[in-house]
Amino acid sequence: MKMTFQKLVIGASMAIGMSAIATVPAQAGTLTGANISGTAASDYLVYDVQGNSTNLVGNTSANVQKVLDGNAANPTGNVELRASSEQAGFDFTKNTTLTGQIGNKSITLSSLTATDWFSTGSGLSTSYGANNFANTWFNQFYDAAGLATNESAIKLALGLPSFTPSSFIREQAFNAFNGIGGFQRSSDPNISYVNQDDTTGEIKIGLAGHYNLKDNYAPLLGAFGNFVKDGFQASEVVKVTYDDKTDLLYSFSATASGLTNSSGDGADGKSHSGNYEVSIKGVPPVAVPEPSVMLGLLGVAGVFATQRKFKKASI
């Protein structure tokens, strides 16, 4: 009878311990130890949130860390890397980086340089048709902007014959985009959050941008600007290095952030209105049992210790 009771106690204790382990909820890790560096380490801006507005705050480590704690459902402020990309005399050879730890692994998020865009393997080429990231990305940008579906009207606007090939129209658009510094403009990502799913390891990165990018580009692209579709969406590009792998990430689909850059320097009432989420596969962090789990396991260990004492006493 005594042994039966002991077995029941042990079974119940083990069940409690295992139940505690089974009911530990999945966690979402965030970036820690945020630090700004790079070859243009001072070229960044920090935007915090006040109500429904994003406002410039001081470039301090505490502010950088604070504004990165949002998520897709609640994007907060952001850190703009390589903030001077739209200014005259911009040095396109330098970058600004945001580094930190997520899931006990290092991650680096960076602005892009001319080499990232225009490298062909044997050098740099700013020509349309070159085998580089600039051409790959721009063709997607062109389609997302609705220009591909408006090529007949574009030919008329440019005074081109109807038999003009699509590749020629794309080349003219590429040159126009490059001429307004479009690649530089797309190289200064506004990082709003960096989160990791502790179960799958997936890392999600929020990029703040325009919910309707037509407002930004239509006035700049001349004749092409007239044919950019309303509601056009495109994020800036971020370079991410994690677990010895580098990716260039971007999106052509945004959700409304509920925020706008409506006060402070550079306010336009439109920036930061869209949240673009990009992701990479990450390494799931090593699970650490919660205190309640440890107490459950200690309870099991205590029962086994008591059982051994009973056995010794009965000898």
Give me the phi and psi of 29, to 5 degrees please. -75, 150
Tens digit of pLDDT at every position of the chain (315 positions): 545 545 544 454 444 444 444 444 445 689 999 999 999 999 999 999 999 999 999 999 999 999 998 999 999 899 999 999 999 999 999 999 999 999 989 999 999 999 999 999 999 999 999 999 999 999 999 999 999 999 999 999 999 999 999 999 999 999 999 999 999 999 999 999 999 999 999 999 999 999 999 999 999 999 999 999 999 999 999 999 999 999 999 999 999 999 999 766 567 888 999 999 999 999 998 766 655 555 554 554 554 454 555 454 455
Which are the contacts of 160, defined by CB distance < 8 A and separation ≥ 6?
Answer: 154, 168, 169
So what's the pLDDT on residue 192? 97
Q: What is residue 270's three-state secondary structure?
A: coil
So what's the pLDDT on residue 246? 98
Give CA–CA dist 13/21, Å, rounded: 13
Q: What is the DSSP string of 95-126?
A: --EEEEEETTEEEEEE---HHHHHB-SSSB--
So what's the pLDDT on residue 269? 83
CA angle 86, 89, 95 (to 5 degrees): 65
So what's the pLDDT on residue 26? 45
Q: Where are the domains of the chain?
A: 2-24+289-314, 29-280
So what's the pLDDT on residue 83? 96
So what's the pLDDT on residue 4? 53
